[in-house]
Amino acid sequence: MRDCMDVEAVTKRLRRIEGQIKGIIKMVENGKPCEDVLIQIGAAKSALHKTGQVVLEGHMQHCVLDGVKNGNEAEVLKRLTSAIEQFSRIV
């Protein structure tokens, strides 16, 4: 996994999202307006989606290409299809 993505950058993104989620929890606990909470939920969702895109891109640029170069096309495409299916379920 460390070869296919910038672990530090992905971790940084996830920590930022973690902070967003904690902020949303505080908003709910403090009785902030629903509209404001929903805006922040949308922002966190968007940030998480972008992080997934970064991970998927790294997977394709490294894991998939390496597998194809090593002659494992069928297995690589099967796993790539599975990864894309999993990622596309994130709504």
Instruction: Kindly write down the DSSP assignment for every residue of 23-72, as one continuous string.
Output: HHHHHHHTT--HHHHHHHHHHHHHHHHHHHHHHHHHIIIIIIHHHHHTT-
- What pLDDT score does 89 carry? 84
Please tell me the distance from the alpha carbon of residue 59 to that of residue 65, in angstroms, as a whole number: 9
With b meaning 16 or more CB within 10 Å and e meaning fewer, what string describes 69-79? eeeeeeebeee
- What pLDDT score does 49 carry? 93
Query: 33-83, pLDDT tens digit by residue?
Result: 999 999 999 999 999 999 999 999 998 988 899 889 999 899 999 999 998
Please tell me the distance from the alpha carbon of residue 91 to that of residue 86, in angstroms, as a whole number: 11
pLDDT at 17 > cutoff 60:
yes
